[in-house]
Structure 1
Amino acid sequence: MSIDTTPETAATASHSDHFVRPLAGIRVVEAASYLAGPFAAQMLSDLGADVIKVEPPGGDPYRNFGSSRHGVGIVWGNANRGKEGVVLDLKSPEGLASFKALLRGADLYIDNLRPHVADKLGVGKEAVEALNASLIRLSITGYGPDGDAAREPVFDALVQGRTGLIAYEAAGGVPKATNSFMVDKLAASFVCQLALAGLLARGRSGKGVYIQTSMLDMVSYFNFPDMFQHRTYLDDDSAWRTPPQPVMATRDGYIVLSPVSGKQLAKTLEAIGHPEWKDELRAIPDKAEMTSTFFRRIAAPLKERGSAEWLAMFREMDVPCGPVNDPNQHLDDPQVLHNQLYSTLDTPLGPIRSVRYPGVFDGHLLTARFPAPGLGEHDGQTSWGAAQ
């Protein structure tokens, strides 16, 4: 395995093999499927933790999801690199014994088993606590451990629908879920955050922590600051207002235009040749109505020039703006190249592109450590020596 950094950038950060990652020495057992739990465990691996992924016979169902190469799902690989992998049948005495041996040597255990399933398998709350009193158990459910919906199967779009996201994004149009698995990836970030908080709590008390979270809870927390501004005060029953769409059409495409302050709004009007609209907009007392009027008024002038010309002009005037990149254009974006976000990782199936962890520690980039494991690749030979 080797990692090559992007040659187009002047390296300002170090890729030294001698750098000790922040979570070095922390052991994580991950028995989660699909995206949220595995992606969270990958984040912990990027931060330096030693992660063992436990899969059932036949493997994580997500291995077969979406685009694949040589029978391995690409999304699965993108969320499971940096881990060792074992196959254990928790329904068998031997598999359960090996799994418990892993838990005895772990610092963190991440799973997304529904509570009644965990209890049936013999790895419920009390059973796990009896194995390792200092273990941090992080249990992810869809809607919570109990309640009317607790036993329902949960996927990304279902949570988008239940939390109001689909209706909110529709803005009066046809409801549509996002094309990205936003809920799963957002949940993974919260799970990683909770895991770090659990480690900190254990460091203070010396005791293990049992942490429960749900996709419903995490996304609701994420949505609240802006999406629920019209329901923050209990006596507020005003109509829901979505912000104006900042994607604006130009003569040859689209740009993102996001002026916020009065000065930025004025500079935008000056750039498009209509500074006289400033007084008219200032006279509108309702801020939301004023902003909507602003975007409606500038729509026609923006179509008179191409995207590159507008972006150059707005940047010169310090108006917040940016391109509408497709994924290929994103990869070639000069700032992306400068930040060294992507590197090449050699794998048994061929070289792949991987994205680094988004934090830089004392100048060190946390690039991918090694590729996702093959099914059962580390059976009987994990670095812990615990799953035999």
Structure 2
Amino acid sequence: MPDMTDRQAFSGLTVLDFSQGVAGPHATTLLALHGADVIKIEPLEGDWGRGLGKIEGDHCAHSVAFNRGKRSLALDLKAPDAIAAVNKIAAKAAVVVESFRPGVITRLGFGYEAIKKINPSVIYCSVSGFGQTGPYSKRPTVDGLIQAFSGMMVMNRLPDGTPWRQGMIAVDVTTGLYTFQALSTAILRQFRFGEGCHIDSSLMRAAAAWQGAKLMEWVHTEGNPQPLYMPAGSYKTSNGYIMLSAMRPHHFRKMFELIGRPDVAADPDLQTHENRIKNAPKIVKALNETMPARTTEEWIALLQPNEVFCERVSNYEDYLAHPHVKETGAVDWIKQDGFASMPIANIAGLPPAREDPARHHAPHVGEHSRAILGELGYSAAEIDAMVAKKAIVVPSLPARAAE
């Protein structure tokens, strides 16, 4: 049981979390990191999100990242004993989150109307691909398909025009952020006015919200959005890539003078914002010809002191090792069962992970089943009987919490 003297924003709130994968779990782990007691309801085999990428035991990097701070209760949602236990949690939960395909949670007996009868002020949040209504509501989907559906892949197209998928599950992560925002304001309304609600959160709508300005731009330009300014992009150097950005006229001229291309700086076709965009191929050609002559570090040493915006294109290893990242405490390293130390990117508004590493522990499948049922009033014998009937799963050995 979490410490009720904890002064985090959501301390003392119980969250019943049926969600799996990334979007819903991301939202609920943010609630947990802000103090809520998030009880993760998992099937007997565990959340399918535990199998995204390389697996260590019953975790992968994604399941650690998006389930920190929760407690796991693994059970069979069709078993009468398990149903009774979940209803006891639902009756006291401030928030319930689910991410089944629309209609499934209702058939299981835990839909909004059913929970509302036993908990009138509950905040109930459904996270899905296309939302709870509409012709695509029951259409199966994943992050990459929503990137395609929402226009994101076209916005992120390659120079030759090929639509391109983001290399991470960008829509799922973004949906988690928008869902956390919606839950946070709903919790405040619940606190102030005693009112609950049903939040319909979807990957489709989150992808559009994230690209809101691009949607407007598409209409404003009649489907022909232009670059925001030129030059802006990454260019090959002798040992890697450099990102360049020169929006203002004096930055443009200074950059090309410094790199030894005064001809481009003085080109009459490139002296206004509109002309630089119109004649972008000229700029790109000049940079592709010139930048490979030196290393990224040499260019940065030349350009940055003269207030030309540029940065090395780094990989994650570069980022984690960077002295600025280290000195500002942007990342802490936390031990998670089955893994070497894992980098935890600290979130604005939360204490650094190093100050409370136990809060960043991601539970094993059913790690807290016994403890949670005990808090609900079940005896050890009753819990053992539920284990024997395969209504719940408990770890064979006590899991070691984060140190």
Alignment partners' CA distance in 1, 2:193 and 2:119: 15
TM-score by length of 1: 0.87
Alignment partners' CA distance in 2, 1:51 and 1:287: 53
TM-score by length of 2: 0.84
Deviation of the 1:278 alpha carbon: 3.3
Residues 44 and 75, structure 2, Cα contact 8 Å, conserved in 1: yes
The one-letter code matched in structure 1 to 2:181 is Q
Unaligned runs of 5+ in 1: 1-17
Residues 125 and 198, structure 2, Cα contact 8 Å, conserved in 1: yes
Alignment partners' CA distance in 1, 2:141 and 2:7: 38
Alignment partners' CA distance in 2, 1:197 and 1:255: 41
Alignment partners' CA distance in 1, 2:128 and 2:374: 28
Residues 271 and 314, structure 1, Cα contact 8 Å, conserved in 2: yes
CA RMSD after TM alignment = 2.4
Alignment partners' CA distance in 2, 1:387 and 1:154: 40
1:38 is matched with 25
- The answer to whether the aligner puts 1:158 opposite 2:158 as a matched pair is no
Of 332, 338, 350, 1:349 maps to 338
Alignment partners' CA distance in 2, 1:248 and 1:383: 58
Of 126-135 and 376-385, the range deviating more from structure 2: 376-385
Of 123, 126, 129, 1:139 maps to 126
The one-letter code matched in structure 2 to 1:294 is I
1:377 is matched with 367
- The 3 A distance-change label for structure 1 pair 75 and 387 is farther
Deviation of the 1:284 alpha carbon: 7.1
Alignment partners' CA distance in 1, 2:147 and 2:50: 23
2:388 is matched with none
- The 3 A distance-change label for structure 1 pair 323 and 227 is farther
After TM superposition, the structure 1 = structure 2 runs for residues 132-211 of structure 1, keeping only pairs within 5 Å, are 132-171=119-158, 172-211=160-199
1:127 is matched with 114
SS in 2 for 1:115: coil
Alignment partners' CA distance in 1, 2:185 and 2:375: 28
Residues 24 and 47, structure 1, Cα contact 8 Å, conserved in 2: yes
Alignment partners' CA distance in 1, 2:259 and 2:292: 10
- The 3 A distance-change label for structure 1 pair 230 and 344 is closer
Structure number with higher helix proportion: 2
State the Cα deviation string for residues 293-348 of structure 1 (Å, max 9, x = none): 43333332222211001112221012221111112111101221122232232333
The one-letter code matched in structure 1 to 2:109 is G
Alignment partners' CA distance in 2, 1:305 and 1:350: 40
Q: How many residues align?
A: 366
Deviation of the 1:386 alpha carbon: 3.0
Deviation of the 1:224 alpha carbon: 2.1
Deviation of the 1:176 alpha carbon: 3.0
- The answer to whether the aligner puts 1:254 opposite 2:241 as a matched pair is yes
The one-letter code matched in structure 2 to 1:216 is M
Alignment partners' CA distance in 1, 2:310 and 2:327: 19
Residues 77 and 372, structure 1, Cα contact 8 Å, conserved in 2: yes
Alignment partners' CA distance in 2, 1:366 and 1:118: 34
Deviation of the 1:163 alpha carbon: 0.4
1:221 is matched with 209
Deviation of the 1:142 alpha carbon: 0.6
Residues 360 and 366, structure 1, Cα contact 8 Å, conserved in 2: no
Alignment partners' CA distance in 2, 1:247 and 1:95: 55
State the Cα deviation string for residues 337-360 of structure 1 (Å, max 9, x = none): 122232232333254213144214
- The 3 A distance-change label for structure 1 pair 384 and 273 is farther
The one-letter code matched in structure 2 to 1:377 is E
Unaligned runs of 5+ in 2: 379-403
Of 305, 311, 324, 1:322 maps to 311
Alignment partners' CA distance in 1, 2:345 and 2:292: 38
The one-letter code matched in structure 2 to 1:310 is W
- The 3 A distance-change label for structure 1 pair 292 and 385 is farther
